[in-house]
C-alpha cells in the first residue's frame, strides 16, 4: 500500500469514528434494558374462529395483562431512576391510549370492535362510541404508568405526551389526564383534526422531531403500538403489550 493510501484510510477512519462519537443515541442504545417476556397467547388451534380468538384475549387480560404491563413499566422506571446522562433537557415520551389510560370498558363493550360514533350510555353493555367515550373523560390510569410519570418528574425529566387523539378531543383528554393522576407534565401533542399524514407512525415521528428541535433529548419513548415507537428519535423504547387492536 502506498503511503498516501495509508494516510487516506487513516483519515477516513478518523472521520467515521468522529461521526460515531458525536451520535449519542448510538452509544446509549447499549444502555437500554431488554424488554421482559410477556404472556400474549398464540392464535388458537385450527379451525380459526374469531370467537375463540376473543376468548383467548379475554383470558389473557384477566390472567396476565396487568403483570405484563407492570413488567415493562418497571423496566422503564428503573431506567429513568438510574439515568445519569448529560442531556441538558432530557425528556420521556408517553403515548396515552393503552399506555397511560386504559380504554378497556370501551373495548369490552364493543366486543373488540371499533365504533367511532354513537352514544356510550349503557356501560358496561354496548355499543359505546369511542368519540363519546373519550368525551366522558373518565378512563382510568394504568397504575404503573403513573409510577413512571412520577419517577420522571422526580428526576426533572420532561414528560411529553404524544397521542393520536385529535385536537377536538384535547380538552377532554386534559381533564382525563388530570383526574387520572397525571399532573405537572410538560407538553401534550394532539393530532390535527385534518392532516396529510398517511399513518399514525408518520405523525408521531414528526412530532418527536419537533420535540428535539425545541432542544429536548428524548431519552425514552413508551407506547403500546409499534407506530408509537418506530421511526427513531428516542434513545430507548419501551413497548407495552397490547394484543387487542393494531394501529398503523
pLDDT of residue 9: 41
What span, in angstroms and rounded, lies between the C-alpha atoms of 143 and 54?
25
- pLDDT at position 3 over 90: no
Please enumerate, as own/partner, the contacts of 235-238 that have beta carbons within 8 Å and a separation of 24 or more: 235/24, 235/25, 235/28, 235/29, 235/31, 235/32, 236/28, 236/29, 236/31, 236/32, 236/33, 236/79, 237/32, 238/35, 238/72, 238/73, 238/75, 238/76
- pLDDT at position 5 over 90: no
Residue 164 cell numbers, joined: 393520536
pLDDT of residue 29: 54
Three-state DSSP class for 4? helix
- The CATH homologous superfamily to which domain 47-102+139-239 belongs is HAD superfamily/HAD-like (3.40.50.1000)
Identify the residue whose cell numbers are 467515521: 16
Residues 101-114: pLDDT tens digits? 999 999 999 999 99
Q: What is the CA radius of gyration of the chain?
A: 21
Mean pLDDT of all residues in 124-136: 97
pLDDT of residue 30: 57
What span, in angstroms and rounded, lies between the C-alpha atoms of 98 and 68?
13
pLDDT band at 31 (very low <50, low <70, confident <90, very high): confident
Mean pLDDT of all residues in 195-220: 97
Mean pLDDT of all residues in 1-30: 39
- pLDDT at position 16 over 70: no
Mean pLDDT of all residues in 150-162: 98
- pLDDT at position 235 over 90: yes
- pLDDT at position 13 over 90: no
Residue 176 cell numbers, joined: 382525563
Residues 42-101: pLDDT tens digits? 988 899 899 999 999 999 999 999 999 999 999 999 999 999 999 999 999 999 999 999
- pLDDT at position 244 over 90: yes
The model's pTM is 0.86
Contact 215, 194 (CB under 8 A): no
The closest of 91, 83, 89, 78 to 144, measured between CA atoms, is 78
Query: What's the mean per-residue pLDDT of the chain?
Result: 90
- Could you tell me the residue ranges of all domains in the chain? 47-102+139-239
Mean pLDDT of all residues in 203-218: 98
Amino acid at each position: 500500500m502506498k503511503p498516501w493510501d495509508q494516510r487516506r484510510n487513516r483519515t477516513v477512519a478518523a472521520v467515521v469514528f468522529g461521526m460515531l462519537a458525536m451520535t449519542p443515541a448510538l452509544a446509549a442504545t447499549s444502555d437500554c434494558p431488554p424488554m421482559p417476556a410477556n404472556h400474549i397467547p398464540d392464535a388458537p388451534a385450527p379451525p380459526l374462529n374469531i370467537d375463540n380468538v376473543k376468548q383467548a384475549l379475554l383470558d389473557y387480560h384477566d390472567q396476565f395483562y396487568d403483570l405484563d404491563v407492570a413488567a415493562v413499566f418497571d423496566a422503564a422506571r428503573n431506567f429513568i431512576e438510574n439515568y445519569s446522562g448529560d442531556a441538558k433537557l432530557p425528556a420521556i415520551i408517553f403515548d396515552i391510549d393503552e399506555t397511560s389510560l386504559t380504554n378497556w370498558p370501551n373495548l369490552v363493550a364493543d366486543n373488540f370492535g371499533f365504533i367511532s360514533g354513537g352514544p356510550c350510555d349503557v356501560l358496561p353493555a354496548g355499543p359505546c362510541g369511542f368519540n363519546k367515550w373519550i368525551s366522558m373523560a373518565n378512563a382510568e390510569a394504568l397504575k404503573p404508568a403513573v409510577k413512571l410519570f412520577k419517577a420522571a418528574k422526580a428526576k426533572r425529566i420532561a414528560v411529553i405526551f404524544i397521542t393520536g387523539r385529535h385536537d377536538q378531543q384535547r380538552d377532554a383528554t386534559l381533564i382525563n389526564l388530570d383526574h387520572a393522576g397525571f399532573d405537572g407534565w410538560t407538553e401534550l401533542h394532539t393530532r390535527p383534526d385534518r392532516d396529510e399524514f398517511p399513518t399514525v407512525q408518520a405523525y408521531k415521528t414528526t412530532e418527536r422531531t419537533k420535540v428535539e428541535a425545541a432542544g429536548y433529548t428524548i431519552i425514552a419513548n413508551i407506547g403500546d403500538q409499534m407506530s408509537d415507537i418506530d421511526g427513531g428519535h428516542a434513545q430507548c423504547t419501551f413497548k407495552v403489550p397490547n394484543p387487542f387492536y393494531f394501529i398503523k
